Structure 1
């Protein structure tokens, strides 16, 4: 299937207008720098083929140029500064307008049905429909832009995908950009209400910027053990989610915390995967959920501000505890750890980080989710509201798992109230889990 995808062109799209004299330097926080070895998150939306008269590539590139004028950090570059006085380096984003990569590809023998397989299987060829495979955040220092996009024209569909540097933006900022881009493409011009993005203005008292990182933390890590993964998309209907939520809340009884729909689904998956993982009951497992911190900080940031303002909420248990207590207890552990992400915990992480800088080497081939699950993205992101001028998406997909052994990428489903979960699991777990989910 790989042979049928042909790259037609690869170019750099720059902001329509940029004032060099007023360009912005964005300092990176400890929460940003902790992601230096993280692979670029990749997401994609599938659309039906537009009218043949629609010249989609020039239209998409022109509107992208305007969108980058508004979301200007995505057109910037990651810069490293050598601090010879203390043998450290520091980093910032230079909003210089260098642009985002735009790839145009064709896979004319691939149909929508080939991609949307009835059992939720993810075909191997979809890897080539994404633009930033195996790219780490630090690669932006050498050759990679902060944002890469790919438009793949299929037999009866169009797949628009992206990969982005998580140090400059989180998921909510990315999808806000995507909404701006699609709206400009649909309307043919920028609206008067489309103002430049507001950058996050959170800086911790007592931490000097730029943050100094020891040179030793920039040494290339040894090759990681490659983990073979399999992927599949699981669909949870509104009724299924309602059942899981009710069951979880009934089991925890009079707890002050209430289990949300997302927490119930994640708990169900965590339990199911651990039940068939082959791990001993005494082994520790974790479920790591990205929490949006904008409104949790004191004072809170604007909900729409641009940047990376997330923190991993980590629920920890032994396999035996999970299996003995069941759905409600498992969901409650997730709920408690998400609630514990506060202004104080966010500050404490940053303060401790600068005192003893240790950047996790979680790049390509590492088993980031060893014995555990990483929960990425959110069904709160309005992925199906984007219309470039030929209709809204019919499906959402995540990019390759890049060797991560347990990754759950959450999407809102097409039907109201439903959730799709793009799952990447260690191949050795796959057959048992697949039969029992």
Structure 2
């Protein structure tokens, strides 16, 4: 699978409208400010070439992106910092139409099957994502949104990178869904974005923080090597079996979600295959979308960060007991249920006391952590030539035990990207209790389907 990436062109994409207000500034909210030291958000999709002339794809994507930016002018802007006499700063998104970045690249000799068939994610896929080493605070001079379209022999990969201070995962998927709607010929958006940020009543504005300096926490990044990544497919039928097993332990009075039970299953397997002392505390970290938990709700089209994170802890022994699956799922359920508007506001007031910017080690720590969501509109990201055959998140903000989940092609299916050292991953793959719930699949296809596809593709080359 020897191949290399060659950049063909780079372009700044500006708003299609000439009537943009280049003086508009949008103040970052408290959830946005907290992530300035973290990595950018990255997600990518693998597609077959459209039946139409593939030579028109790049220009069509550039044009449709330009029209979409008319509705999302922040993505074509940059971060702006206003310094204060006391050494603090206020941060804004300056909608100055400097431009989003479009990169056109070529992966010579690389096919779709070269990406789909390996058990582990091929390292070259990480080069399909732009700005993998950048931090969010660098949005003062780096683009807030970048797309890299990498041509393969028989398809292409679209890698998207967005500044996390601008948007969380849900907001990014909202933008991509809108762009794909326009690419397919739509003129108006089904769900236009909500631009302005939410703030606590009575808070002093503009908010002030200690803005990060170039080079902050570089050593922390250098000490976090990229780990092998593997994707596990869980069918709806297998998840139902896990849920029934957990529910039989906790009884009918407790409502467990499919995702919580599946994450408990994964957490148990990861801990079980590391030989951890039964008395040692182990942690699981999850993020909670707070949009629907506010009064009034912020709405699914809120373009910004609207997340809080929660952690649950148990001893390894408690987690690995026979009833550990149900107990872990129930504890996750309790953590999520705690996030009422009152709790969220309390957390924000506590943060306002020191206004600490999160670091990667503080964000993840010694925990298995979950990101992504099976509710993201993965299969709505159709630019006019078909649904993706695979989705992957980029290498940013990943550590030992990071899990990223996406929906599968069949209703109720869930795919989970897992990052672990190779020896632990191999042990996990030999764990019959864990693998019994896994359905063999490649990309968004079962193993049997992909073998037929590969034979057809190879014979046509």
Q: How do 1:354-433 residues align onto structure 2 when only pairs under 5 Å count?
A: 354-362=352-360, 369-400=364-395, 404-427=399-422, 429-433=424-428
Q: CA deviation at 1:254?
A: 4.0
What is the aligned partner in structure 2 of residue 67 from structure 1? 68
Correspondence for 1:301: 298
Alignment of 1:34-433 (within 5 A): 34-51=34-51, 53-54=53-54, 55-84=56-85, 86-117=86-117, 119=119, 121-141=120-140, 143-187=141-185, 190-193=186-189, 196-214=192-210, 220-221=216-217, 223-224=219-220, 225-255=223-253, 257-324=254-321, 325-362=323-360, 369-400=364-395, 404-427=399-422, 429-433=424-428
Q: What displacement does 1:221 show?
A: 2.6
Question: Alpha carbons of 1:63 and 1:228: their partners in 2 closer, same or farther (altered >3 Å)?
Answer: closer
Q: How far off is 1:88 after superposition? A: 0.9
1:218 Cα deviation from its structure 2 partner: 8.0
Task: Work out whether residues 74 and 146 of structure 1, in 8 Å CA contact, stay in contact via their aligned partners in 2.
Answer: yes
Which runs of no fewer than 5 residues in structure 2 stay unpaired?
A: 435-461
Gaps of 5+ in 1: none
Higher mean C-alpha displacement, 410-419 vs 2-11: 2-11
Spell out, residue by residue over 1:68-113, the C-alpha distance to the aligned partner (whole angstroms, 9 max, x if none). Answer: 11122212211111112x2211211112222211111111311111
Deviating more after overlay: 12-21 vs 228-237: 12-21
Residue 295 to residue 403, structure 1, CA distance change in 2 (3 Å): closer
Sort the Cα spacing of 1:227 and 1:5 in 2 relative to 1 into closer, same or farther, 3 A: closer
Change (3 A) 1:195 1:236: closer
Change (3 A) 1:262 1:291: same
Distance 2:46 2:22 in 1: 38
Name the CA distance, whole Å, in 2 between partners of 1:275 and 1:304: 40
What TM-score does the superposition give when structure 1 sets the normalisation length?
A: 0.92
Once the two structures are superposed, residues 10-56 of structure 1 have per-residue CA deviations (whole angstroms, 9 ceiling, x without a partner) of 12111111535475322122211111111112111111112362410
Aligned-CA RMSD value: 2.2
Q: Say if 1:401 and 1:424, in contact at 8 Å, map to a contact too.
A: no
C-alpha displacement of 1:393 = 0.9
Aligned equivalents of 2:2, 2:164: Cα separation in 1: 28
The 1:53/1:30 distance shift into structure 2, 3 A limit, reads same
Query: Does the residue aligned with 2:138 lie in a helix, a strand or coil?
Result: helix
- CA 1:347–1:2: 2 relative to 1, 3 Å: farther
Q: Following TM superposition, by how much is the alpha carbon of 1:217 offset from its aligned partner in structure 2, in angstroms?
A: 8.2
Q: Deviations over 1:257-312 (max 9, x none)?
A: 41111111111101110111233223322222221111101222223222211111
How much has 1:327 moved relative to structure 2? 0.6
Do 2:77 and 2:97's aligned partners in 1 also have CA atoms closer than 8 Å?
Answer: yes
CA drift at 1:428: 5.3
TM-superposition CA deviations, 1:165-208 (whole Å, max 9, x none): 12211222111111111121121xx5245675222552102321
CA distance in 2, matches of 1:163, 1:323: 38
**Displacement of 1:342:** 1.6
Q: Distance in 1 between matches of 2:362 and 2:113?
A: 32
How many residues are matched? Answer: 428
